[in-house]
């Protein structure tokens, strides 16, 4: 494993007044972009990241505007709220209808589905509360001992890990259970490689997920698929360092893993979090909204922790899985990296952050929402 180290590139070697200053240095960012221009092959190059936070970085710092025109940076399926399937939202709505307190993150409230939304369930009298972390749900359960509280647990590895630790602690309040909609990122990225009309030259792996999984998780792409891959952080110099390393690999025909976020990501990751996830969850095929069924990508609660599982506790009848999006919505194409949000005819017209029509416009991690937030030009 080798490659650029963004910390060294930024000249940040020790404690500083502003620890991000070097990673946001405009001159260094311009130098990196210039080197990318000089070294990129003379053809279209497509690099995909799978993280709403990376798209936010690209947009906030207008990175596409300083990169060469033949370099396309596309966002893939990096928004857990966007890929949460309608039938799982329907389960949460059903539990609200049955009188449980539904504890959920704000972005999930407005996600439109054919079964309605949690905001609609709340309007109809359901008790749906906003939380910022699993301990808020524990607090709700403690404060409401006579009520059932259900944590609608949506998210990738970064969210799954603390929820797993809560389950595996064996110390959950008796009136608290989890309705899980956790997804693993690597299987979705693998799926993308098998879709014939998507050509991707390299992947940028999400830095925060990698804190949990370790950078080693992504070696698979270099070793099995011959694809350059880089773990990147969330400052502009982090991102551009990753892009430069990937462009160099593409130019030279290399395929290896670069960890350009070494200040946070180790090869082995967070072993405690990994153990908690393995203890609490079983890995199963799962449905991704707009994408379909992805093998080995879901996390459901193991039978030994059945009391913590809202599906078992409430004997929920499984709502049929359907790959449904509102008519005319192109979220599936956005999430597969086939188009940018501006390729959807509804973008900025029928679908805006104030009036979200598709799931990618709801969450602050949704590509359409991020593009809208920064003017809709792609950064
Ligand atoms: Fe879906 Fe709206 Fe994005 Fe179009 S603009 S892809 S309708 S979220």
Distance 241 CA to ligand 1 centre (A): 31
Please give the structure tokens belonging to residue 330. Answer: 């192109």
| Ligand 1 atom showing the smallest separation from residue 356 Cα | 2
Is 70 exceeded by the pLDDT of residue 282?
yes
- CA distances in angstroms from 19 to 13, 85, 127, 213, 265, listed in the order given: 10, 39, 42, 24, 17
Is the minimum distance from the CB of 360 to ligand 1 under 6 angstroms?
A: yes
Q: Does the beta carbon of 370 lie inside 6 Å of ligand 1?
A: no
> 3-class DSSP state for residue 183?
strand
pLDDT, residue 12, reads 47
- Counting ligand 1 atoms within 8 A of each CB, the residue from 357, 366, 373 with the most, and so the one to mutate, is 357
Tell which atom from ligand 1 comes closest to the C-alpha of 329.
7
pLDDT for position 322: 74
- Average pLDDT over all residues of the chain: 93
Supply the pTM of this predicted model.
Answer: 0.91
Of all residues in the chain, the percent with pLDDT exceeding 70 is 94
| DSSP assignment letter at 23 | G
Tokens coding 299: 């996390």
Contact 78, 234 (CB under 8 A): no
What is the pLDDT confidence band of residue 19, given thresholds at 50, 70 and 90?
low
Read off the pLDDT of residues 8-17 as tens digits, 9 standing for 90 and up.
Answer: 455 444 444 5
Pick the residue whose CA is nearest to atom 5 on ligand 1. Answer: 347
Q: Is 358 in the pocket of ligand 1 (CB under 6 A)?
A: yes
When pLDDT is cut at 50, 70 and 90, the band that residue 18 belongs to is: low
Ligand 1 mutation pick, 84, 324, 330, 345, max ligand atoms within 8 A of CB: 330
Please indicate whether residue 362, judged by its CB atom, sits closer than 6 Å to ligand 1: no
- Inter-residue contact 233 to 262 (CB < 8 Å): no
**Distance between CA 124 and CA 126 in Å, rounded?**
6
The ligand 1 atom at the shortest distance from the C-alpha of residue 351 is: 2
Of 133, 132, 136, 161, give the one whose Cα is nearest residue 149.
136
| Count of residues in the chain | 379
Give the nearest ligand 1 atom to 330 CA. 6
Question: 189 CA to middle of ligand 1, Å?
Answer: 21
Return the DSSP state at 41: -
C-alpha 216 – ligand 1 centre gap (Å): 34
Percentage, residues of the chain above pLDDT 90:
88
Q: What is the rounded distance in angstroms from the CA atom of residue 325 to the CA atom of residue 331? A: 8
Pairing status of strand 127-130 against strand 176-183: unpaired
Q: What average pLDDT score do residues 284-294 get? A: 94
Is the confidence at residue 2, as pLDDT, over 50? no
Among the listed ranges 129-143, 184-198, 232-246, 340-354, which one has the minimum average pLDDT value?
A: 184-198
pLDDT at 197 over 90: no
pLDDT in tens, 98-142: 999 999 998 999 999 999 999 999 999 999 999 999 999 999 999
């Amino acid at each position: 494993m080798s490659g650029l180290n963004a910390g060294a590139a930024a000249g940040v070697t020790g404690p500083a007044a502003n620890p991000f200053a070097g990673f946001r240095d405009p001159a260094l960012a311009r130098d990196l972009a210039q080197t990318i221009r000089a070294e990129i092959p003379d053809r279209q190059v497509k690099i995909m990241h799978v993280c709403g936070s990376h798209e936010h970085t690209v947009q906030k710092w207008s990175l596409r505007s300083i990169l060469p025109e033949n370099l396309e940076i596309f966002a893939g399926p990096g928004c857990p709220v966007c890929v949460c399937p309608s039938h799982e939202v329907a389960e949460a709505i059903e539990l609200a209808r049955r009188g449980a307190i539904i504890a959920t993150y704000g972005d999930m409230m407005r996600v439109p589905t054919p079964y309605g939304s949690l905001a609609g369930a709340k309007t109809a009298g359901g008790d749906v509360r906003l939380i910022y972390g699993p301990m808020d749900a524990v607090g709700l359960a403690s404060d409401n001992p006579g009520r059932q509280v259900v944590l609608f647990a949506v998210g990738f590895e970064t969210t799954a890990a603390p929820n797993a630790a809560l389950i595996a602690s064996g110390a959950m309040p008796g009136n608290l259970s989890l309705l899980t909609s956790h997804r693993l990122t690597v299987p979705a990225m693998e799926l993308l490689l098998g879709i014939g009309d998507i050509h991707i030259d390299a992947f940028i792996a999400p830095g925060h997920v990698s804190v949990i999984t370790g950078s080693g998780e992504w070696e698979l792409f270099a070793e099995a698929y011959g694809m350059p891959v880089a773990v990147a952080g969330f400052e502009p110099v982090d991102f551009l360092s990753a892009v430069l390393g990937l462009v160099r690999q593409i130019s030279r025909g290399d395929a290896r893993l670069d960890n350009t976020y070494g200040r946070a990501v180790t090869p082995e990751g967070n072993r405690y979090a990994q153990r908690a996830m393995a203890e609490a969850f079983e890995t199963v095929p799962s449905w991704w909204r707009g994408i379909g069924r992805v093998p080995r990508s879901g996390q459901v609660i193991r039978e030994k922790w059945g009391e913590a599982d809202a599906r078992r506790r409430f004997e929920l009848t499984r709502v049929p899985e359907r790959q449904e999006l509102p008519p005319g919505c192109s979220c599936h194409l956005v999430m597969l990296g086939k188009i940018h949000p501006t390729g959807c005819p509804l973008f900025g017209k029928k679908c805006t952050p104030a009036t979200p029509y598709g799931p990618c416009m709801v969450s602050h991690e949704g590509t359409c929402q991020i593009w809208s937030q920064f003017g809709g030009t792609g950064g």
